[in-house]
Every structure is written in C-alpha cells, then in structure tokens.
Structure 1
Amino acid sequence: MIAKRLQPGLAVALALALLLAWRCWQVLHSGAGLHVDEAQYWYWSSRPLEWGYFSKPPLLVGLIRLSTDCFGDGLLGVKALAMVAWLLASAVLWRLGAAMGNERAGLVAAALLAATPASGLLGLSATTDSVLMLFWSLVMWGAWRAAHAEGAAAWRWWALTGVALGLALLSKYTAGALSLSALWLLWRCPPARRGRLLAGLALAAGIAVLLLLPHLFWNMHNGWPTLHHTLDITVQGGAASAAERAAGWGHKLGSALEFGLGQLLLLGPAGLAVLALAWKRRHLPAAPAGQTRALWSALGYAWAFAWPLLLLGLLQALRAKAQVNWALPALLGVCLAAGWLAVRRRISGQTLTVWVLAGLLLSAAIAQGGDLRRWIGRPAAAGKPAWDIWSRMRGWHEALGALAPALEAQRQLPWVTNDRTLLVQTGYELRALQPELRSWSPDGQVRHHFDWKQPLRPNAVPALVFLGDEAPDAALLAHYPLARPLAQAESGRVRLQAWLLERPPSALTSTGKHP
C-alpha cells in the first residue's frame, strides 16, 4: 500500500522538479532582468521588514527575503521560492483530488494548472499571485478535509485552513473573496451539518484574523495606505480611468469583454480543450467518478472557488478598469472542475497529454518569443517591435552598469529620480554601491511607496544626483540651479542621464547647511 502511494507521489515530484528546472533555465537565458514590481519587492526585502507596504501586504516581501538569504540576490535568488509556490499549488490540487476520492482527477487538475499560460508566464516571476495561489489552494484542500473529518481531526484541519486563509490575506487582499465561497458552501451543505460547518468556519476565520492583526495595526498606524491603494486601483480604477468611466456603457462593456477574454487566455488551450471536450460528450454515459460520500459534489465544490471571484472581477471591470489577473485564483477551481470532467467524460490520457504539452509549449514560446530571433541570428529590424513580453525588463542592467563608474564617485550624495521604475531598478542593479535613493514628486502628490517613505526634501541637502531619461525638470532646477551632466547611457529602450545638481553658495550658511 505504501508503495502504491509513493509511486504517484514520486511521479508528481519528478514532473514538478523537471518543470522547475525548465523554468529556471528560461529565467537564466531570457536576457531580461527584474520587472519593476519584482525590483520593488526586492528593495523592500533588503531593508528592515515591515508588516505592510504602500501597495501590498507583507508576505511576498518576507518570502523574497528568505529566498535571497538562501540563494543570493541574483535573478533566480529573487524569484526562486515564488516560482516554487506556483508548482506547489499544482501539487495541492493533486492531493485535493485524492482527498475527494479520485486521484486521477487531481492529477489532471494539477497538470492543467501547470499548463496554463498563467502558470507558465507568471510562474517565472516573483509576484503576489504566486503565494496567493498556493495558500488559496491550501484553503480549498484544508476546508474539504476539515468538513469531512470527525472529532479532533476536524478541528485540526479547520485550524490549518485558518492559517492558510490568514497567509492568503497577507499575500493579497483578493483572498477576501474566499468569504463568498464559504457562504455559498455553507448554504449548499445538508442542513443537519450546517452547525458543525459554521463552527469550523468560525474557527478558521478567527485564526485568519489573528494572523492579520499585525498588518491591520500597521495600516491603522500609517493611515491605511494599502487599503486606499487597493480601493483606488480596483474600485475607482485610478485617476487615469476617470475619463474612460465617463464614456458610459461603451467603456464598461469593453472593460468587461477585456476581463472575460483575459480569463480565457490565462486558462489557455489545455483547460479550454478539456472543457470543450467534456461539453461535447455531455450526452454520453459518464464514467463513475469514484467520489467519496461528501457534503458537496466535486464539481459543485470546485466551482464554488471559481465563480464568486469571477463574478467580482466582472463587476469590478464594469465599475472601473479591468484587472485581468485579479481573478487569477479562480483558475484553481476551474482546473479542479476540468480534472473531474475529464474523468467523468472519459477523456483519454493520450488526449490530455497532447493538450497539456501544447499548453506548456505555448507558454514557453510566449516567454522566449523575444529571444527566438536572436538565437537564430535574425534580430528584429530597427524600429520594429519584437514579440517580447519582457521588453520592459531589458536594458536596465546594461544602462545602469554603464552609469556606475560616474555614479560611484557620488555615493555620498542622495540619488534622486521622479520615476518609480528607475528608482527600484537602480536600487537593484547598483546594489553593491548601496545608494541613498530619494523620490521626487514635482507637485508633491504621493503616487507610490517612495513618495511616501523616501521623498526628496529640497531644503535638506545642498547637492544631489538626478537620474532620469531626460534633463531635470524646472521645478527641481528651481531648488538646485547649478546643474552639470555626469554621464548618459542607452541600451535598447532604456535611455538614462545622470546629473549633478547643487544649490548656489549664497543659499547656504557658513556651516554649509541650508538656513
């Protein structure tokens, strides 16, 4: 019996290890650096950790700290544990399928999730979605096990579910949508079991709130910045979308269509093919699914973790700008449902293998699209964009490396920029110089974390280094009229200039400080 259990476990572990090795190879050979958000998370992780940040809860930042402590500050060091989290989410789906009574359905669900473009592309990055996907899947698994266990075992599973829920909320506020899934499952369970289920859900929710309390206290102490930012981009859509919202239903329907098509693209060919084949065979006799006696049907349970989030995402798209990745955890429920449908509709293993491989190859082709022409010696012609989803992540290492000699001589001065992307990329690429970075907001608005925590106060320093893609703006030159170019560099789409800015001697006191 132990050997029978180990055999699929070893196969899953080997498959996920090979997929992780392949993704590591992709990262190392892509020629791209960190995304702006990854560089920002790394920057936060390299400083004393906090219980929250301007735009995000703290869990991913802590994970990146652990990852870089283990593997260094290189690209793989920053991304490693987040990449592992994506693959662990697939493993959890496998175990959930087994717990529900059909290990093959769980294996198919795990393979379908790994074959999604979401996993194949976002799985190469250190984003909040990586840890959210892992802990969302653990909530699904833990809640099923807890609801079908008895006595002390049930309470242990509810406690573990609460821990997973709390960590999901510390990953991304999207996890709050799990409350709708819980209410739906509570309503759909047999009335005689609702009391026990409600007690278990209350325990899980209580533990989650306890884990969330330090983050809530941090937010309260700092004026709720994370909540305000989240509401701005999800409910209000940001200042940039005000004119679009005023355009009326044309914009709303376009935004909803963008969201819907985005979900299909994130699911990819493998998941779509399985759902289409299952629909085509819906009138054929279904195979026995092998599900154990349960409070919910397997499909009902799976869809309960998908449709509430998809509905919220659609409503959000109608209200503001579509956030395609906002409903990403719904893929877990969709892939689990597709796994069960594949078993019930007798979709062959050969067919499933072909579509899973197609999904993996599609993700790889998209991920490496910007490198394929270079590898075969036919780079894109000048002025013609290459098929490259990582284009915004290229050029920073080379351009900032070219500026490094000129900047090293100015390490005693603060380095200032009005661009968040440039600030965090400078912090990462020139981390060996340990620069003091400051953010300049000409109109004084707080646009992001660095305007809030690391603003330039012009009267505080007599001189600074300005970094930008063009000369310093007039508002900054009004404070520092003595401007001298230090260096400039260009690599691909990245064009940078470094300037030394100083105040005139008359603006300083005899001690060299500002009056």
Structure 2
Amino acid sequence: MSRVHDGCIAMSREDQVSGNISTQSMWRLLLSAALALCAVRLMVSYATGLSLHGDEAQYWTWSWTFEFGYYSKPPLIAWVIGAATSICGDDTWCIRAPAALFQTATAILLAGTARLLFDNRTALWTGIVWLTVPAVSFSSLIMSTDALLLFFWTGCLWAYGALLRRPTWGAAVLLALCFGLGLNAKYAMAYFLICALVHLLISAQARQKARVAATHLIAGFGLGTCAILPNVWWNKVHGWATVGHTADNVHWQGVVLHFNELGDFLGAQFGVFGPVLFVVLLLVIPRSRRACQALSEPARLLLAFSLPILLIISIQAILSRANANWAATAYPAAAILVTSVLLAQTRRRWWLWGSIALHMIVAAGLYGAVLMPGATARALGRDPFQDLSGWDQVAYQVTDRMKAENLSVLLMDNRMMIASMAYALRDQPEIVIRTWNHDTKIDHHYEMAWLYSPSVDGSRVLLMTPHGTQSIESHFTKVKELPPIGKVDRVGQAKNLELRVLEDPK
C-alpha cells in the first residue's frame, strides 16, 4: 500500500491497479463535468459586462497584425485572439473564451497523463482537481498566456511520459508541436528541459528508457525548439525587445536578498494551488536519500516536473521578486501527484473531496463578485474590478470632446490606459491613439509602435492622463485646459482623468 515515509510518498504496484471505474465511465464523467463547468465560465464571462483588463486589451491590439513576436510576449496569444475574433467578433466574452476552452482541454489532457502513469480513478479525480484549482477558476475568466502555456506544457508531459514508456514517432511529433507552441506562448516553456534533465538525474530507470527513446526525444525537442526561431529573428530585428522586457521583469540588482518577497510568493501559492493541495505537495518532498530511493517511478517524474520550478521561482523571489503565477507550470504534474497521494488511503480521500468542495466555494464567490458588483462592494468596501469598468463612458466623452475641438489624435502616457481606451474606441477608427515617451527608453509596445510624431500626426492633440500633465505640457507652445472626465466604475466610484489640448510642439 502507499505510505508516507520521511515526508515522501512511496507507491507500490498495488496502488497503481485501476480503481473500480471503467475507462468509458471515467471519460464520460470527466467530460460531463468539464463541459458543464466550461459552459458556466463562458456564461459568467458573457454576463459580466466588464471591459478587458489592460493586458488583455494590449494582446487584442497585437492581434490586429500578424507578427512573429510582440514587445513583451511571444506571438501565440495574439494569434489565438485573432482567430477567436475572426469567428465571433470583438466582444469581451469572445476574446476571453479561449482561456476557458484551453483550461478545460488541459484538464482532459492532464487526466490522460494521470491515466498513463496511474489508473482511471486517479485520472478522473486529477481532471476534476485541475478544473477546480483556484488559479484555474480565475484564469478561465481572463485571456492570458498562462492558459495557453499550461495546455501545451501538459501535452509535452504526456508525450514525454509516453516516449519513455514506448517510443513512437506519433508521440515525438506531439512533443515537438507542444514544445514549440508552448515556447511561442511563453518562454517559461523552457523550464520543461530543466525538469526533464532533473528527472533523468534522479531516476536510473528513466535514464535507461531515455537511451532507448533518445532519437525520438532529440527529434521532438529539437524540432520544437526550431519553432521559436522566427520569434528570435523578430527580436533581433526589433532590438531584442522581448528579451529586454523579460530581463527587466527578473530585475536582479546585485546580491540583495528579499526573504519577504519569498514569503509573499510562497504564501500566494496556497491561493494559487489551494491550501490543502499545496500542503500535501510540500509534505511529499523527500527529506532524505532513503526517502528518495523509496519513490515510485511516477512519483519521481512528477516531482521532477514540479519542484524544480518552485525552487527556481523561489530563488528569483529572494533575489528580486516573483509574481504568484510564475510557478504555474509546476502544478500540472503536482496535481497528478497530490491526487494520487490523497486517493491512496480512504482517510486521505476526505481531504481531497474537502479541497475540491472548498475550491468550488471559492469559485462561486469569485463568479459572484464578478456578477454582483453592488454586493461585492458592500462586502469589501470597494469593487475589486473597478479598473475593468467605465471605459466605454470615457470613450463616449472623449469622442465628444475631440469632435468639439476638431481633433483626431488622442495622446496618452499610460500603457494600461492606452490599451483600455484602444478597445473602448474600437468603433471610432477616425481617432488615432498615440503615446508619449518621457525618456529615450522603449518601455512597452505602444512606445515602440504608437509613438507620437508631430511630423506624421500633426501639431494638435488631446492629452488625457490620470496624473499631472506639466511634464508633457512643457513640450508644447500652446496649452488649453479642458474640464476633466470622470471614469465611473460599476458601483459609482469616480476617478478623474485630466484633459489638455496641446498645440505646436517645441
């Protein structure tokens, strides 16, 4: 039977015998749950009335043109949004729909991986666990690179496990496709190579199987890596924009240790993966060589594809900072591992079911907060989604002011506001949006692509900014102050945006 030894789970062959559920029943139950939850998420997204987040709106503006790269990310998210909007238009629900669809597909693919390593019962509950993980419930409502990355990461995990089990060219092609597309979704896909190396280092059996599958593995990873070469070329042509942005995110500044950042990052993981699941994951970490030797081969593989990522991002947090989602690729393998541990004994299964119930309550609270702004504002004292509302009204007011002043160029200096206004003004093609760069450094996509040029855009513009305007006013000869615009969120809270008509650049 399964046993916890020195903080590490060791699984016998007996634990891997299929549970009392047929393959057909397992897939029927999982698909029913996955499609039902996906439908709920799509309906919530449709009913919210929330505008796009600044990052989402930025990705949407990227999708206007087909490129092999964009300022801060590889190109896949823009391609996916472009494909979605070509089918169902530019409404917010349509732009966000791929997130819910990809997370649903990830759960199904992850169940297939769990079945490859364990049994039908583990596969079913792994899929359900993934569908209800707090980060997945949240990520299914926003269009981000993580939804794409996690799907292709999980596809790579299945293909890698299948190749070690029995090398086939079909699995090698799948590995190449998923690895290549994953790299084009987010550079964090490269962690997969590190995890594979760790797996080969800690498992003699894996090394033996990898020798047999060496040609297939090399072909899969090699061809997949070739898929990122067009993005490398794009970066070279554009001054290594994405590479520079990634380096800025890492933000190392000498040997300065930030243990408070590590605490914040690790604390956030209880919310990302769920408190019960994250605690169990920490408990299964081997604490001695003997414990490592007691690991089953599936457990070795799953730990190798989760713990190194948590360690890398924890080091990053100590050296600078780390966002909560930067370790997202640790959790597909961790979901399988933790599910198998909790299913191993009857008394542990209650923790699994309790964790799923808790996550469902959290998801209901999240979706309720999205759909009922008044109740949420009364409970929290504010609307947590206030930045995602009010932009349509701002766009109407800006359009009226620009018509009254006979202006066609709207100038801004805030990336998130530029993106939000670009989406809000999507039906006003006569308005040209431009950004102001306060220094010579390119800090975001719009400073690279939408930079204001008097010789091209004219000498009269409307400046809109959420902060002081003097640093920009000083570059123009004539300045006319207009009454500010109030951006009012869903519960009536207002935020003023300053307006100036600027003429004759110095």
Which of the five TM-score ranges fits, normalised by the shorter chain? 0.7 to 0.9
Equivalence for 1:26 = 44
Alignment check: 8 A CA contact 1:26 1:368 kept: no
For residues 395-406 of structure 1, the aligned pairs below 5 Å read 395-406=390-401
Deviation at 1:355, TM superposition (A): 2.8
- Compare 128-137 and 28-37 and name the one that shifted more: 28-37
Is residue 463–residue 501 contact of structure 1 (8 Å, CA) maintained in 2? yes
Q: Distance in 2 between matches of 1:309 and 1:336?
A: 16
- Counterpart in 1 of 2:501? 500
Output the CA distance in 1 between the equivalents of 2:410 and 2:396: 15
Match of 1:87 among 101, 104, 112: 104
Q: 1:49 aligns with which of 55, 59, 66?
A: 66
- The answer on 1:425 being equivalent to 2:426 is no
- Alpha-carbon distance change, 410 to 25 in structure 1, aligned in 2, over 3 angstroms: farther
Residue 112 of structure 1: how far off its partner (Å): 1.5
Aligned residue number for residue 213 of structure 2: 197
Question: Quick one: distance in 2 between partners of 1:481 and 1:19?
Answer: 56
Once the two structures are TM-superposed, the CA of residue 127 in structure 1 deviates from its matched residue by 0.4
* Counterpart residue type for residue 329 of structure 2: P
Q: Say whether 1:17 aligns with 2:35.
A: yes
Aligned to 1:113: 130
Cα distance in structure 2, aligned partners of 1:112 and 1:178? 22
Q: Which runs of 5+ in 1 are unaligned?
A: 237-241, 280-294, 508-515
Q: How big is the shift at 1:89?
A: 1.0
* Cα deviations by residue, 1:421-447 (Å, 9 ceiling, x for unpaired): 111111101100023211101233322
SS of 1:200's partner is helix
Evaluate the alpha carbon distance shift between residue 315 and residue 411 of structure 1 in structure 2; reply closer, same or farther with a 3 A threshold: farther
C-alpha deviation, 1:116, in angstroms: 1.4
SS at match of 2:213: helix
SS in 2 for 1:415: strand
| Cα distance in structure 2, aligned partners of 1:373 and 1:227 | 39
Structure 2 CA distance for aligned equivalents of residues 210 and 371 of structure 1? 44
- 2:462 corresponding residue in structure 1: 465
Between the aligned partners of 2:27 and 2:381, the Cα distance in structure 1 is: 44
Q: The residue matched to 1:500 in structure 2 has which SS? A: strand
- Say if 2:33 and 2:128, in contact at 8 Å, map to a contact too: no
Shift of 1:371: 5.5
Instruction: Indicate whether 1:141 and 2:158 are aligned.
Output: yes
Higher mean displacement: 167-176 or 412-421: 412-421
CA distances 1:98-139 after superposition (whole Å, capped 9, x unpaired): 122412112222211222111011221000101001001111
Q: What's the secondary structure of 1:433's corresponding residue?
A: coil
Distance 1:326 1:426 in 2: 28
Q: Equivalent residue for 2:378?
A: 380
Counterpart Cα distance in 2 of 1:138 and 1:400:
42
**Are the structure 2 counterparts of residues 186 and 200 from structure 1 closer, same or farther at C-alpha, using a change threshold of 3 Å?**
farther
List structure 1 segments (4+ residues) > 4 angstroms apart after TM superposition.
Answer: 272-276, 347-351, 370-373, 408-412
Structure 1 residue 343: Cα displacement: 2.4
User: Equivalences for 1:344-355 in 2 at 5 Å?
Assistant: 344-347=344-347, 352-355=352-355
TM-score by length of 2: 0.85
SS at match of 1:416: strand
Aligned residues of 1:446 and 1:452 also touching (Cα < 8 A): yes
Map of 2:139 onto structure 1: 122
Distance apart, 1:158 and its partner CA: 1.5
> Cα RMSD over matched residues?
2.7
**Residue of structure 1 in register with 2:148 after alignment:** 131
What are the superposed Cα offsets for residues 179-205 of structure 1, whole Å, 9 maximum, x if unpaired?
111112223242543422333321112
TM-score normalised to structure 1 length: 0.84
| Contact 1:42–1:61, Cα closer than 8 Å, also in 2 | yes
Q: Which amino acid in 2 is paired with 1:380?
A: R
Aligned to 2:439: 443
Deviation for aligned residue 1:380: 3.3
Instruction: Give the equivalent residue in structure 2 for 1:263.
Output: 269
For residues 58-457 of structure 1, the aligned pairs below 5 Å read 58-150=75-167, 154-187=168-201, 188-190=203-205, 191-236=207-252, 248-249=256-257, 252-269=258-275, 271-272=277-278, 297-347=297-347, 352-369=352-369, 372=372, 374-375=374-375, 379-380=377-378, 385-386=381-382, 388-407=383-402, 413-434=408-429, 435-457=431-453
Question: Paired residues, what number?
Answer: 468
User: What is the alpha-carbon distance in structure 2 between the residues aligned to residue 396 and residue 390 of structure 1?
Assistant: 12
User: In structure 2, how many angstroms separate the alpha carbons of the residues matched to 1:422 and 1:305?
Assistant: 38
Q: Structure 1 residues 94, 194: CA separation in 2 closer, same or farther (over 3 Å shift)?
A: closer
How far apart in 1 are the matches of 2:404 and 2:121?
A: 62
C-alpha distance in 2 between matches for 1:411 and 1:93: 56
Percent sequence identity over aligned pairs: 22
Structure 1 partner of 2:6: none
- Partner residue in 2 for 1:287: none
